[in-house]
Structure 1
Amino acid sequence: MRIIITGSLGHISRPLTQALVQQGHAVTVISSKAEKQAAIEALGATAAIGSLEDVDFLTATFTGADAVYAMVPPNFAIPDFRPYYNRLGRNYAQAIAQAGVKRVVHLSSYGADLDHGTGIILGAHDVEQLLNALPGVALTHLRPVYFYYNFYNLIGMIKTAGFIGTNYGGEDKLLLVAPADIAAAAAEELTKPAVPGQDVRYIASDERTATETARILGAAIGKPDLQWVVLPDEQYRSGMEQSGMPAQLASDFTDLGISSRSGAMRRDYDRNPPQSLGKVKLEDFAKEFAAAF
């Protein structure tokens, strides 16, 4: 198969590319950075250097492909995620239609079933709707849960405050996933026969409470009494703003925390859980976290 991978050599796209090349597929990796070309080619893939903002480039790259893995790279330099996601989602939809691609695997997120109250996830919801409108396409939305590597963002807080503090926590249930497990699921989906229609696949590696998560991460870094403290919503939001985060983004992250605390984010996951959890457990990630700490 000829398969197009977006996301350059990111956390998911690199292992996904490696797996598909090993299976014998002809893989093209899209990257906006020319300096990534050598690394892409070293994996046995072809590099397509260009921008996701360029519909003509996307259409030309997608033409002749048997399958496309479409993801919107996070961009924390912008103050509002939703318009950015919508713009790239429209570009994907237009390029897929013009190129005649029949199999698409879209990296979405759990919570993307909701049209309100999920903050930064609303962009993923919008992209799903844009792609769902494409006729005759075999479309799978991958909905991974909370990425382990997001815990790296908490290192500074743990070192300075001595605890993890968000507007959810305690006995709230966390759904956790490793990029390697997402890549394995994406590889499966991309190589399936193309049957027109939409499908959703949730991906998770582990399920723990916030308290359990703090204990396991704390033990790995020599802080066995590490606590996950639930902060008031306004304190959480204002704290992010004071650290320099744009107001809209701080509000979006606060909404995301509220939806995690209420259980809304995981409601559809609970109704349609993955057939099995991935291989990388929290204890496995805790070793990497300790090394970074």
Structure 2
Amino acid sequence: MITVMGATGRTGSRICQTLLEAGVAVCALGRNAERLASLAAAGARIAVGESHDAAFLTEDYREQQAAQGEAILTAIRDSGVRRVVFLSSVGAEVPSGTGPIISMHDHEQRLRQLPPEMDVLMLRSGALFENLYGALEIVRAYDCYSDAVAPDVPVPMVATRDVADAASRALLEHDWQGVVIREVLGQRDISYAQATRLLGAAIGRPDLPYVPVSPQELEGALRDAGCSASVAACYAELGEAISSGRVRAQEARSPANTTATPFEDFAQDWAKAYRALP
């Protein structure tokens, strides 16, 4: 049986579905029983609970991530599993100054503490296309997209379905031993300015501008929107880290790490969501 954490998310749900279709027994873990119901109907065993509760497996963002990571490590050790695929991020090799990616770095280090006979795959993905659903309300309200990433910095971006498929293939094929790192980079690198123009073109606004702001301005805007000080600071730091090149792919592009889904396909889905806004 393969256990999938975050089974109701875009990536986790696709992994579950792929494994179930391949005839693999799946235990789907999540916090919401109702959202897990469709996976149960498809044949998955489900488990409902909080990922920071070690028996099931604060206000400060990094403390929360650390508590969750320790709980996951305890659950892995106690369960006796022999193989782990961890969905990490480009930039996880950097020990500081990368905002929320720090949690990926820290958890990779925790997983390296597991017994040497365990096989651990770190799948470091580029930025997820679907993160840009967060731009929907911004575009509608301000006729632009804005972030703290420099406009012309190439960023590896990838579809969640391609990350899920890479994880599913690894789980089904068992094609690694020991601790292995692989990157999942998407079809091509795209700057935030390019991504904004492509999203704009999909809604009939090919001139849609990308307006960069400073990390400090982003932090203030996030605080005004109701984010905690810790979360706002993390995402402001991430923008600066991408702009400066601290967060970047480590592998040269190859057929092994370049996925098929073009950003333009996602842009069409994004446009449908834009047109469906109330």
TM-score by length of 2: 0.91
Structure-1 residue corresponding to 2:94: 114
Q: Distance in 1 between matches of 2:243 and 2:34?
A: 42
Distance in 2, matches of 1:158 and 1:115, equals: 34
- Alignment partner for residue 90 of structure 1, among 70, 74, 84? 70
Equivalent position to 2:151, from 149, 170, 173: 170
Report what 2:7 is aligned to: 8
Question: How big is the shift at 1:94?
Answer: 1.5
Tell me, yes or no, if the aligned pair for 1:112 and 1:121 is still in contact at 8 Å.
yes
Contact 2:7 2:30 in 1 (8 A): yes
8 Å contact from structure 2 (residues 53, 68) kept in 1: no
RMSD of aligned residue pairs (Cα, Å): 1.8
TM-aligned CA distance change 1:232 to 1:49, over 3 Å:
closer
After the TM superposition, list the runs of 4 or more consecutive aligned residues in structure 1 that deviate by more than 3 angstroms.
Answer: 192-196, 270-274
State whether residues 85 and 124 of structure 1, in contact with CA within 8 Å, keep that contact through their aligned partners in structure 2: no
Q: Residue type of the partner of 1:277?
A: T
Matched letter for residue 288 of structure 1 = D
Paired amino acid for 1:247: A
- The yes-or-no answer on 1:191 pairing with 2:190 is no
1:101 aligns with: 81
The aligned counterpart of 1:34 is: 33
CA change 1:91–1:233 in 2 (3 A) is closer
Q: CA deviation at 1:234?
A: 2.0
Cα distance between partner residues in 1 of 2:193 and 2:159: 19
Change (3 A) 1:242 1:271: same
What does 1:1-293 align with in structure 2 at a 5 Å threshold?
A: 2-58=1-57, 79-135=59-115, 136-193=117-174, 196-206=177-187, 207-266=189-248, 269-271=249-251, 273=253, 275-293=256-274
- Residues 224-233 or 116-125, more deviating: 224-233
Q: Distance in 1 between matches of 2:127 and 2:93?
A: 15
Identity within the alignment, %: 31
**1:15-69 Cα deviation digits (max 9, x unpaired):** 11111111111111112223245312222211123332332332xxxxxxxxxxx
CA contact (8 A) 1:20 1:27 kept: yes
Offset from partner CA, 1:115-143 (integer Å, 9 cap, x none): 11101111111111111111121001111
Structure 1 residue 160: Cα displacement? 2.1
Q: How many residues align?
A: 271
Deviation at 1:7, TM superposition (A): 0.7
Alignment deviations for residues 136-188 of structure 1 (CA, whole Å, 9 cap, x no partner): 21001111111111111112221222211112232111211111101100111
1:99 shift after superposition: 2.1
Aligned to 1:75: none
How much does 1:85 deviate? 1.7
The residue identity in structure 1 corresponding to 2:219 is R
- Contact 2:7–2:36 at 8 Å: present in 1 too? no
Q: How far apart are 1:80 and its partner, in Å?
A: 3.1
> Could you say what secondary structure the match of 1:55 adopts?
coil
Please tell me whether the aligned partners of residues 145 and 209 of structure 2 are also in contact (alpha carbons under 8 angstroms): yes
Gap runs ≥5 in structure 2: none
Secondary structure of the equivalent of 1:134? coil
